[in-house]
């Protein structure tokens, strides 16, 4: 079944768009009758189309974020070259660049960062089927319509499986990475035992996993950052706001690791 086509027909056909939730429900009922599809399967696949568009936006945000971090580090360590000083001294341009980058990095959104907002480039994502740059708010309209249509199929109003309510803002690996940076920067308890430091960190932040799993994820994060150089950069960027608020001395190290991983990420 062509779920991309179902989503596109829903939004870009004016008659369907006006009653988008009902459209997705009707499409499911047809799939159920003609091909014996279950609600979970049908709506999960529709959501995956939207998630691929959200991923495109995330990639644009991460790309811009990397550019800003490179500019910021270049300005701070004095390696950045300025083509046009615009009547200013190099030091003035350096400070101006630092202030600009820091200001831009303060606001990260699902569809943008700082003064930049991105749209979903459907022409490339649909192989030329649709020539349209979709703003994030329109993407959400489609996503909400799919979720509401799915809810109609559930007598107990169960949530769509790909959209679970997440109790913690971070995965166990991300929490373990936060611990790694806080521990490396000597910001945790002075206990000489790594076991004690791990347990106290888990208790403080109410991390819902076993001690053994958390310890395993900690060593995994440490190895992937320092040896394998394949730690996901987007996960590092995700934890920066938390680190800034709770362990701000770690942020410079994280930013430097992001740049290092970008330059040394193995190619598979």
CA–CA separation, 157 vs 208, rounded Å?
26
* pLDDT at 204 exceeding the cut of 90: no
- Domain-wise residue ranges, the chain: 3-152, 172-264
Per residue in 25-51, is it b (16+ CB within 10 Å) or e — as a string?
Answer: bebbeebeeeeebebeebbbbbbebbe
Q: Give pLDDT tens digits for 20-76.
A: 999 999 999 999 999 999 999 999 999 999 999 999 999 999 999 999 999 999 999
* pLDDT score recorded for residue 200: 87
pLDDT at 95: 94
pLDDT digits 0-9 by tens, 76-107:
998 988 888 888 898 999 999 999 999 999 88
Q: Report the C-alpha gap between 155 and 160 in whole angstroms.
A: 13
What is the model's pLDDT at position 165? 41
Question: Can you give the pLDDT at residue 225?
Answer: 93
Pairwise CA distance, residues 64 & 74, whole Å? 15
């Amino acid at each position: 079944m062509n779920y991309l086509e179902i989503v596109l027909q829903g939004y870009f056909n004016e008659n369907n768009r006006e009653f988008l939730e009902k459209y997705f429900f009707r499409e499911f009922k047809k799939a159920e009758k003609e091909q014996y599809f279950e609600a979970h399967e049908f709506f999960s696949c529709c959501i995956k189309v939207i998630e691929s568009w959200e991923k495109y936006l995330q990639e644009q945000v991460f790309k811009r974020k990397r550019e800003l971090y490179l500019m910021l580090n270049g300005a701070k360590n004095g390696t950045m070259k300025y083509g046009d000083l615009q009547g200013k001294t190099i030091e003035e341009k350096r400070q101006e660049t630092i202030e600009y980058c820091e200001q831009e990095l303060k606001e990260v959104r699902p569809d943008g960062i700082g003064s930049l907002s991105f749209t979903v480039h459907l022409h490339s994502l649909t192989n030329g089927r649709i020539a349209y740059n979709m703003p994030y708010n329109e993407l959400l309209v489609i996503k909400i319509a799919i979720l509401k249509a799915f809810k109609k199929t559930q007598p107990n109003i169960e949530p769509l499986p790909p959209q679970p309510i997440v109790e913690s803002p971070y995965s166990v690996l991300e929490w373990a990475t936060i611990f790694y940076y806080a521990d490396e920067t000597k910001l945790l308890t002075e206990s000489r035992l790594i076991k004690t430091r791990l347990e106290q960190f888990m208790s403080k932040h109410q991390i819902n996993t076993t001690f053994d799993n958390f310890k395993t994820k900690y060593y995994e994060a440490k190895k992937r950052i320092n040896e394998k150089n394949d730690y996901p950069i987007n996960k590092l960027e995700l934890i920066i706001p938390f680190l800034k608020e709770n362990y701000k001395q770690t942020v410079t190290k994280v930013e430097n690791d992001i740049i290092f991983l970008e330059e040394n990420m193995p190619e598979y």
